[in-house]
Amino acid sequence: MVIPNYIPNAPLNPDNYRDAGGLVPFFWDYYILSFGINQITSVFFLNCRLNLIYLQCMQTVILNLIKHQGKEVVQIKFPFDPQLINEIKKLESINWSNTQKAWYIPYHASAVKEIKEIIAPFANVETKLFDEKESKKNADPKNKELGTEARQKIIKFKNWMQSKRYSESTIKTYTEALKIFLLYYQSKPLADITNDDLLRFNNDYILKKQLSSSYQNQIVNCVKLFFQTVENTKLKLDLVHRPRREKKLPNVLSKEEVKLILYALTNTKHRVMLSLTYGCGLRRGELLNLKPKDIDSKRNLITIKQAKGKEDRIVPLSEKILLMLREYFLAYQPKVWLFEGQVAGMPYDERSLANVLKRAVMQAKLNKPISLHWLRHSYATHLVESGTDLRYIQELLGHKSSKTTQIYTHVSTKNLQNIKSPFDDL
């Protein structure tokens, strides 16, 4: 065997060892056997140096657990390397993401093991980010499975709410919130859950995750309601406390900002949808549940049926919006719903509506996190500023309590703008 010349302390060229794989250690082991025992020490250190250089020359592949297109995937990220790319392509279900600029495979229990088996001989695999996120994921009650007893109790609770004619959104909210709570205490019998357990859940889960007080209130509501249907519970429902209400003011746009958003839209359907939302103060579900027969063009009225709280109400329809609706109706000719999606007879999708608003805000160049509900808040606030009686605004918005409507007086700036600051007199 020919031994290449070695000059002590000379810089070694990593390219000579990069593709050698296991041949470098084997080569020097053979070298040790071929020479006398007196040279073993020096050759050993040389062998270590060569192995270190070889490892340093290997690419580092970083694995991460992310959400991509609504699904959990294992992201595989590394600098461009044709050899590694060829190896990566041997993985099943491997895909390239243009948005992430990385390779990925669907997440499953043995995903990391499969990746390592393919690329470990050619690269260093870094799993720190992945391990941290997977650990958090496994610790979250949302990702655990309910036991048989808990599942049966939730079904019973759901049936009870349906018999009481709770709205579908309330049933969904309560069952999901209850599932999280029961998963947190899945090792404890339901009958043994106490007020201290609920308090611990609030502190160790809701507060640690920095979840909102409204979510905490939902948990309290569903737990109280659920345990009213469970016998032999140690939970004292009268002592279950609610979180203090946050005094947050609604987000409001100026009339100029609303105009910029509406005029940024060129699609007739999209402009009519957002115009109705603002012009009538509609909730998202109320808009999407409208049918052509709900529009009374002779009296300029819209009937909102079975809105929040399963109540009907009537709201006035702007003459300008009525003209827009006629133009829209002639162009699209909806069959069942006033606003239908790409499939005739199917209602417009909530996410698509949110994307319509998002694009309009971007085109209007408004640097604010505007949601659809901002248009409803703006409608109410602009009515207050124009002098409309709060009792009428309460009816138009469908509020049960006048206290809910009064909050818009706090965001109305009409009177505040007339107040002169004493600083101006200095």
Catalytic residues: 283, 308, 373, 376, 399, 408
Q: Which of 366, 413, 417 is nearest to 249 (CA)?
A: 413
Whether the Cβ atoms of residue 216 and residue 202 lie closer than 8 Å to each other: yes
From CA 114, how far away is CA 71, in angstroms rounded?
19
Instruction: Name the residue type at position 236.
Output: K
From CA 344, how far away is CA 348, in angstroms rounded?
10
Whether the Cβ atoms of residue 189 and residue 148 lie closer than 8 Å to each other: no
Question: Using CA of residue 172, residue 174, residue 175, residue 179, what is the dihedral sign?
Answer: positive
Neighbouring C-beta atoms of residue 407, cutoff 10 Å: 16
From CA 171, how far away is CA 160, in angstroms rounded?
10
Whether the Cβ atoms of residue 361 and residue 263 lie closer than 8 Å to each other: no
Whether the Cβ atoms of residue 252 and residue 411 lie closer than 8 Å to each other: yes
Q: Which of 225, 159, 220 is nearest to 195 (CA)?
A: 220
From CA 84, how far away is CA 299, in angstroms rounded?
70
> What are 140's two structure tokens?
């979250």
Residue with tokens 């065997």: 1
Residue 366's DSSP bridge partners are none
Whether the Cβ atoms of residue 56 and residue 11 lie closer than 8 Å to each other: no
N- to C-terminal Cα distance for the chain? Answer: 96
Distances (CA, A) of 366 to 259, 264, 267, 275, 413: 12, 11, 19, 18, 20
> What are 69's two structure tokens?
């297109």
From CA 255, how far away is CA 119, in angstroms rounded?
58
Distances (CA, A) of 93 to 13, 99, 130, 353, 401: 37, 18, 19, 32, 54
Q: Which of 204, 258, 292, 210 is nearest to 374 (CA)?
A: 258
From CA 142, how far away is CA 152, in angstroms rounded?
18
